[in-house]
Structure 1
Amino acid sequence: MKKNILQGLVLAVLLVGLLVSCTAQKEALAITDEEKALFESEEGEQVEISNEETEYEIIIIDPGFFNWLNSIARPEGYYSQHFLENRNQLLVINWNQRVLQPQQFDSNLYMLQIDYDPNIDYGYEVNYKLYNYFIYFQRKYNQRLGPFIPRI
């Protein structure tokens, strides 16, 4: 009898834990009114992602990204460069696959391939801005570029 009560208690704790986990995940994915306003914004500066040493440059002209990067995104230093490089490598692969499949993916969203070599050290700033653009892009256009949920 004690064994059945103990098993029931353990099962109840697991179910409550699962419910709390799902609720927390939904809250992390929620897009705030402030973020929605930035997505709809027609104003904002273009963001240049570059590293003079590696002669690498990406220019993002999505109007809301600059303000989103400076107000919503995690601050520089929050993620390690190693984390950013690993995520960017995966996200770039998925991005480039979508560019090559315009019949399956919107060619207005996936226009150009990104030349990202994991053997090149692009530096922290390039990796930080590129990663955050991927997060912004996925949240704004309701896309998934990898197995990770695009959260802030």
Structure 2
Amino acid sequence: MKTTFLFIALLTIIISCNSYQPAVNNNNATGSVTDTLRIANDSLEYEVIIIEPGFNSWLVTQPPRGFYSQSTLELRNDFYVREYNLRVNNSINYSPDLYVWRIDYDRNVDYGYEVNYLLYNYFLFFEKRYGQKLR
């Protein structure tokens, strides 16, 4: 089973396992850095890619990995994903520029700690950066 997460307008998320590989690209001569975080494992079919300026620097200010249990993150992500998907389907009341793609998150699939940690923190970042309240 392959589950795909895509956020467009600065975010693409596809679900992954537990390997952590940050990738920071220097794209031009002026030295601007693109915030890209990729978590992937070739043996599994899940991947998370977060492309969001400022996310990596914001992430280091958050509680560290291990602060929340995996079950806590899974419960919170399930709630956030349901609310986010409701907004994707309601483009009359919510900006289609912010809520572009549905997130296919199945609470019965064990995505691992790293995926849940990053997804949860992305939702917190998304709320703060774009002034949204998903709770």
Asked if TM exceeds 0.5, the reply is yes
Ranked by relative contact order (alpha carbons within 8 Å, sequence separation 6 or more), the top structure is 2
Q: 1 or 2, which has the higher helix percentage?
A: 1
Gaps of 5+ in 2: 1-31
| Per-residue deviation, 1:55 | 1.6
Question: What's the % identity of the aligned pairs?
Answer: 48
Q: Which amino acid aligns with 2:56?
A: F
Paired residue total: 104
Instruction: Summarize deviations over 1:4-46 as a string: whole Å, max 9, x none.
Output: xxxxxxxxxxxxxxxxxxxxxxxxxxxxxxxxxxxxxx74421
Quote the residue 2:11 is aligned against: none
**SS state of the match for residue 117, structure 2?**
helix
Distance between the aligned counterparts of 1:95 and 1:119, measured in 2? 19
2:70 aligned with 1:81:
yes
What do you get for the CA RMSD once the two structures are aligned? 1.7
Quote the residue 1:14 is aligned against: none
**SS state of the match for residue 35, structure 2?**
coil
Alignment of 1:5-20 (within 5 A): none
Q: Could you tell me which of 116, 123, 134 is aligned with 1:127?
A: 116
Quote the residue 1:58 is aligned against: 48
Distance between the aligned counterparts of 1:51 and 1:95, measured in 2? 26
Distance between the aligned counterparts of 1:65 and 1:122, measured in 2? 21
Using structure 1 for the length normalisation, give the TM-score: 0.63
Q: Mark the CA change 1:60 to 1:119 in structure 2 (over 3 Å): closer, same or farther.
A: same
Distance between the aligned counterparts of 1:45 and 1:113, measured in 2? 22
- Say which one has the larger Rg: 1
Distance between the aligned counterparts of 1:102 and 1:53, measured in 2? 37
- Residue 138 of structure 1 contacts residue 145 of structure 1 at CA under 8 Å; is this kept in 2? yes
Quote the residue 1:68 is aligned against: 58
